[in-house]
Amino acid sequence: MTTDSMADIRDMAFFAFRYSLGRKTFAPHMVQTFVKENLDIFHTHDLEQMAREIGEAKRFHLGDPRIDEPQWLEFREYLLDKLK
């Protein structure tokens, strides 16, 4: 795969990440799984930005507080752990 193709995939994944924040659908799980399984295509600043945006979104809405919110916060912790 070319560098441009990888950048496109990374960008689309980031768009999907932003779309799925706060959604009460299967999208958050799919996006989080994709990021975890393809961590190597993301730059450090991408992962930092995702973790930051989850933290910012928590102040407003991360979906169902019993299902989605714990899943997003767990994913944020996962990202922060990978950044260590």
Quick one: which H or E segment has residue 59?
A: none
Tell me the pLDDT tens digit for each residue of 40-76: 999 999 999 999 999 999 888 888 888 889 999 999 9
Those residues whose C-beta lies under 8 Å from the C-beta of residue 76, and which sit 6 or more positions away, are: 50, 51, 54, 55
d(CA 35, CA 33): 5
pLDDT > 90: what percent of the chain?
A: 74
Q: What is the pLDDT of residue 1?
A: 67
SS3 call for 28: helix
| Residue type (1 letter), 76 | R
Q: What is the pLDDT of residue 19?
A: 94
Tell me the pLDDT tens digit for each residue of 8-49: 999 999 999 999 998 888 899 999 999 999 999 999 999 999
